[in-house]
Structure 1
Amino acid sequence: MLGVNIYQLLATIFMLNLLVYLEPASIHEESEIEVLTQTVIYEESSLEATVIGKLEPQKIKVLSRTNNFYQVKTPEGDYWIRPQKVIDEHGIKRMYLHENYYLYHGPKASYKMTSQLSPQYVQVINEDGDWVKIKTWLGEKYINTNEDALHHTIQVLTRTSFYEKADKQSIKVNEISPQEVQVLNKTKRYFKINTWLGDYWIQPKKYIDEHGVTKYYVDKKQYLYNAKDVNTKTQHSVAPQYVTLVDETDDWLRIKTWLGEKYIYKHEQMNSSKGKIAYLTIDDGPNQYTERILNILKKYQAKATFFMLEPNMRSYKQLVKRMVNEGHFTALHSVTHNQYKLYHGSAYSPVWEMEAARKTLKNITGENHYLVRVPYGSAPFMTRPFRNALVEYNYKMWDWTIDSQDWKYSNAEYYHIVNNVKKGLISVERRGEDVVILLHDRSQTVKALPYIIEYLQNKGYQLEAYSEDEHIPVNFWDDKRL
């Protein structure tokens, strides 16, 4: 027993030394760091401080450091940031852990240790998907930034190809026969597994998950039927995704949906006249720019999804009604847009704000919608307790796959917004993801929007509003409940 206590004491001493090393009291005035991720700017070195804005990835002069915050020079003045990833003044790459993480001896779920890291900056050696190799008081270890996807096996039920990347456009390496496999990593539609040739990615047509539930991959949009009868087709459909399979025959799949158990006809040929679909999503309105945005959408016969703030809905009721009348989807974006109020109290705080916004929307339009986008995006703030609360109240949560970064540019710089969308589209198409574009109700967005719409339409995209009947999971946590 005495030996155990000594080891624990030594580990604590090493950890304290690590923390002291990571937290210098000050930094040379001319030091520079490279911020690697978009980060929030605060007025003071506290999450309770006023949010000034956002900082895009860039090199920046740093004045001092305290409490895991950097004081930096911005065009608006000297403010504080706590970036998730940064190359510090010594050229060392660091990552901030927002919650406790288990350590692993290696990049496999079976290598899990009992030791944990508390929220802090850690030194990063390298990254491979969700696995991050770091320096710790115990030597070089690993953490996994998506632990919910680990610690389980799945039973692959169909012969399945495996690929170098989580993308069927990447190199096909070989195939596996139906078997049980250990999940090493996971994305929205792919699993990383260990094979006799190394670690590769699969997208099985059918598998049994860690809970014993059979999943089936629907690889194209499919209509739902009320029975195994082609005369019972409904107006509802499912987009490409994994669905829960109840039963299967040669011609039909019985699946679980938000409407209860429904059927898919395997041999149905969907009408492909719609072509590709992109979703324009517009945050923070309605406001003085929204009417001009609606006019542009009407001119180009394009639809959009508006994530609105509750006070703004009350101030611009007629615009909210116009959105509904013109076929756009009205969604929720909170009441306060305040990071501290939303994420640093109860896990139900986002729910309470979305409930208030939902009731206001219903009072104005009669629409009772449950789609939300949380301010600043769901990562890193919407950890599992927060997401569980949304699920409990039947909400769906959308992030985005393309960030236009429109908020950071002036009217004269609108072309940067257009270029960001173009570059983002190339990446999204390569990854095979849904095209969900983040925009805001701003004057520079009004300037850029016609060019964005024309570009997308010329690329063969139809611009549609979100549909509750064809919900697609689009969130940074890959939480399919949302």
Structure 2
Amino acid sequence: MSPGGPVDGAITAQTVSVLAKQGEWVKIQTWKGARWIVPNRDFSLPAKLPLSKDTSLHEKPDSSSTYMGTVSAPQNVSILSKEGDWYLIETWRGPLWVLPNHDFSLPATITLTKVTSLHNEPDEKSAYLGALSPQTVSVLAKKGDWYQITTWKGPLWIVPNRDFSVPEKLLLFMNTSLHEKPDSSSTYMGTVSAPQNVTVLDKKGDWYLIQTWRGPLWILPNHDTSLPSTITLTKVTSLHSEPNGVYSGSVSPQTVTVLGKQGDWYQISTWKGPLWILPNQNFN
């Protein structure tokens, strides 16, 4: 075992025999043999330190000491010890010291007004790790629209006041009634025609609040179960922006996923997004 090595247990408050010393570390005799400790270490120290900007590594907790490289940000680093404002962290070169610089352009807190998804990285495709109810949270770092905040699970990333469980767009397969509230007995406000993609603002149960020409209104989407889930294309098939619309390329013979239908035309999922085809006819 060496200073800064893997944790190998703990000892209760007691007097111990010293064998050697290295910096803050002391080698003592234990029932497991010789082991290293930092006596009376403050365990209120966080296990991780979020760095919001690239930070210099030093051999000692002193800016005039040997420069040992730079740790890139944003990232969370493992803390081994602390001396003043300096932190001893685990690095690829072994334990080294950093003097974290707080970005004072960051807000200290953010108030969340809706349920907000937690992610392990500043990317909506990264692992979903739960959600926070509306509350004020402490900010640690920022990357683009993403903020790293303090949570009960440690530092995690959010896009404030956006709920990733609610899609930005919703494809309607059928003409759908608009309501003033998320309740079918509430005031009828008109009908949105289908098929089309509508912009989603919020969700409550099975109801979606969408943007309409009359302002935000609620819908209860109904899926058309008569639609096939897939279609097998037997020849090269033209893609169009809408039924009889602008030519947008073609798709080779394959099985495609169906999103909607209008007359003989089918809306399918493509690498360019939802587009329309007339199955097994070639417009070229």
TM-score (norm 2): 0.35
Q: Of Structure 1 and Structure 2, which has the larger fraction of its residues in strand?
A: 2
Greater Rg by CA: 2
